[in-house]
Structure formats: C-alpha cells, structure tokens
Structure 1
Amino acid sequence: MNEDQLLICRGQHLWLSPERTVFWEEEKTMILSDTHFGKTGHFRKNGIAIPQTIYKEDLQRFFSIIQFYKAQRVLVVGDFFHSHVNEELDWFLKWKRDFSQLQITMVKGNHDILPASWYEAAAIEIIPETLFSGPFQFQHDYDEKAQKNKNNIEQATDTNHPAYIFSGHIHPGITIKGLSKQSLRFPCFYFGKHHCILPAFSKFSGLATIKPKKEDQIFAIVNNQLIQTK
C-alpha cells in the first residue's frame, strides 16, 4: 500500500489514499465516490468493446483498501453503480454476501438507478439525497452557488457550525505544468474552505479540470502517489 496523507478536518483524522479513498479514522469508515461499478459491462452490452480487466482491477482495489484499513463501514458518495444490472454487478453481489458484516451506505447519485430490490439483496443502505454524520455532510453533487444562498443550512449532529460537505460527481482533475510548457492532468482531492470534492474511484472515468482558489488544498494523484500542489 502506498503512503497515505493525514488531513485533519473539523477535528477528525482523515487518511487520503492514492487509491482515491479517504479513511475516516474516528468512525472506521472508508469514504469514496464514483466507483461506477458495472460501467464496462454496460458499454459491452451496447456493443463497445471495453476490456473487463478494468472493472476487475477497480473491484480488487476496492476490496484491498477496505481490508488494509479494517474499515467497518463503507460510505459511497454517489454513483456506486453505473447503470442497469449486468454480469459485473453479479460479481459484486456475490462478494458482498461473503462479507455480510461490512456495512455499506450509499448516497444516491445520478447513475444509481438499480431497483430497490437489488440494493436490498446487497444489504446496502440507501440515502436518497444527503447524509449528515458527525461534523460532515455527504451529497453526490455540490452546487456552490446554491449552497452560498442557502440561509437555513442544516446543522451537523455534534457542532454549532455548518457541516463540512463531501461530494463527488464531477471527477475533479488538476493540471500540472512542467518546465518546458508541457502540462498533464491528474485526478485529485479538492479541499476548499467549506467542502471537499472526492476523486472518482473508477479509473475508467474522465476528468473535469478545477481551478483552485489560493486557500484551497489540492492533492494530485500521480503515479500512485499523493502530491500536494497547493
């Protein structure tokens, strides 16, 4: 396992991993977003030849990071699954039944369209829109303008301040420039003053370039290492 980065947020210890996850130490909870399990199978069903090894590698990373941290709960901040049921999701279901003691909570994303009966069979707790836990708020999509205009923001369960928000959805990426004017984009963790945008866990996903403010913290994922760019 590669070296992780400790970040303290609202008094909580968060371990950022180059495997695109966050381990919330106090709650023994693995936080991640946009796994898009079943996406390669969805493409193949529609006649696009995407190798199945992509999904197998993502699934193996998912299992390995949970075991490494001995997480008791997994919290997926949306787009856990990509589309309708296919063979790849059957593999996930089989694994989950073998590890029935693991608690999985999912805040629904725009791609999470499986029937309720499937989630029930997988023993996955479904949160329709927003989850409050400790000093944090979890939602799939973060609308910064709407959040600023929201005067009656709900309070977290154990703080007098508005909850710090974790979201996903946009698959954030940061551009790093070299000495000879070359530049490359990498997935990243974005930590702003009031919210975090998680990288897409799936490596079969695009990137949306973000433009951080001066006070923001950015952790780029480069060659399986975390590099703080600001």
Structure 2
Amino acid sequence: MTIISQGEELILDKERALFLPKHQLLAISDLHLGKSAHFRQAGLQVPATIAQTDLQRLSWLIKQYQPETLLINGDMFHHGLNTDIEEFSIWRKQYQELNFLLVKGNHDRLSNANYAEMGIEIHEPSFCLGPFCFIHDALQCTEDELYPISGHIHPGVTIVGKAKQRLKFPCFYFGKEYAVLPAFSLFTGLYNIYPKTSERIFAVTPKSVLEV
C-alpha cells in the first residue's frame, strides 16, 4: 500500500517493511536475529529455520525494491553472538554495495567492532532523513521538528470478522505524533493497538496491507 506522510510517499509492504522511494531507503524494525538460537541455548525447542526464513524475506525485499540503503530501526540482534548471527554475517556478503544502517535498540548489545566487521553502520539514538526521525522508541525522540518513525512495541491490531471471529495481525501505526513499524521477525509477539480518531492503522495480512 502507498500512503503520503509528512508530504512524502511511503510504501507499506506486507513483508512488514517500509520503503521510501525518494530516498531509495528500505526500513524494517525488530529483526531480532539470534533470538531463536538464544532460546535453543537455553534448552527451548525453537526451530533453527526461523532466522533463515527472515533472511529469505529480507532478500526478497532487497530484490523487489533495489534500495541503496537498508535501515534496521532497532533490535537487529536479540542478544550476543551465536549461530544465527554467524549465518547473517555470511548472508550479508551478498550485498556489498548496499548500505546497512542500524539505529540501536534495547537488544542491540554487540560491540562496535562486531558491527563494523559485518559492515553495519551504527546510529545512536536516531537516524534522521527528510522530515523523518528513525528511532527505536518514539518516546525518546528529541527532534521536535521531525516526525519519529519507531519500532520496539511490535504493534498489532485485532479485526473482527463477519462471523465474529477475531483475527490479530501485525500493523503499521501512523498517529499525529509518531509512527510505529511492525516487527519484521516472525518470532515475536504483538502489542494490541486500539486506533483513535485521526490515527491510521494498516493491518499486515498474509496477502496484503489493509487500512482498518
């Protein structure tokens, strides 16, 4: 779905990503690579294919939009170094010409040397572009003249069907004060958003993005 925000065109993709055509920038939030491996290390039976699936989806987005820059808006890595992050490091080598930017989130705890080794440029606490301020937690934004685009809360929305069945989907949230991107990783929970007047909610369904 294509929308206009702050006078600029934005594309909301059903793979839980945001593309800014004017800036050739693809943005995602809450990738949480390493989360499944971290849980497996703790003895929980979590499939090893979760990180692979998320990276395949990201490859599809890069092929689809051909961005100059990929921005991860916080929580790129869930914890410390593990096998999932080693897999990302190998995957990253396919995209030597693509700029990788990370706005640090609360789970991003690797050393600057680790990020540099993987070709990731760090921005903390935010990365500002045009009228937007990309920051992991919108409540921490101090750029008063810019519109924050955040992540962090893993927003979701509940839709009631004709048979009164309740379906919960990830969503994009665009309010008066700030926007929130859906969590990119499929291995995350959802925080339910209840839209108010003047707020726009876009549900991410398996087939499309729908305004609700």
TM-score, scaled to structure 1: 0.88
After superposition, give the CA deviation of every residue in 1:123-179 in whole Å (9 maximum; x if it has no partner).
111112122111101110122xx77xxxxx535xxxxxx211100000000011123
Alignment of 1:36-185 (within 5 A): 36-143=32-139, 153-154=142-143, 162-185=145-168
Match of 2:203 among 220, 223, 226: 220
C-alpha separation between the residues in 1 aligned to 2:143 and 2:79? 31
- Displacement of 1:181 in angstroms is 3.2
Matched residue of 1:42: which SS?
helix
C-alpha separation between the residues in 2 aligned to 1:206 and 1:154? 29
C-alpha separation between the residues in 2 aligned to 1:142 and 1:195? 7
**Partner letter of residue 13 of structure 1?**
E
- Displacement of 1:66 in angstroms is 1.0
Unaligned runs of 5+ in 1: 148-152, 156-161
- Displacement of 1:224 in angstroms is 3.0
C-alpha separation between the residues in 1 aligned to 2:114 and 2:83? 13
**Partner letter of residue 228 of structure 1?**
E
C-alpha separation between the residues in 2 aligned to 1:225 and 1:134? 27
Q: Which has the higher contact order (CA 8 A, sep 6+)?
A: 2
Does the 8 Å contact 1:54/1:204 carry over to 2? yes
Match of 2:5 among 4, 9, 24: 9
Does the 8 Å contact 2:156/2:193 carry over to 1? yes
- Displacement of 1:95 in angstroms is 1.9
Which residue does the alignment assign to 2:181? 198
Does the 8 Å contact 1:140/1:168 carry over to 2? yes
Which residue does the alignment assign to 1:159? none
C-alpha separation between the residues in 2 aligned to 1:96 and 1:180? 45
- Displacement of 1:187 in angstroms is 0.4
C-alpha separation between the residues in 2 aligned to 1:134 and 1:32? 17
C-alpha separation between the residues in 1 aligned to 2:48 and 2:207? 21
C-alpha separation between the residues in 2 aligned to 1:171 and 1:41? 20
Whether 2:23 is the aligned partner of 1:27: answer yes
Please identify the structure whose Cα radius of gyration is greater.
1
After superposition, give the CA deviation of every residue in 1:5-60 in whole Å (9 maximum; x if it has no partner).
11111222111100000110011000110010111111111111100122111110
TM-score, scaled to structure 2: 0.95
Aligned-pair RMSD on alpha carbons? 1.4
Unaligned runs of 5+ in 2: none
- % identity of equivalent residues: 42
**Partner letter of residue 201 of structure 1?**
F
- Displacement of 1:102 in angstroms is 0.8
Does the 8 Å contact 2:133/2:143 carry over to 1? no
**Partner letter of residue 204 of structure 1?**
F
- Displacement of 1:115 in angstroms is 1.5
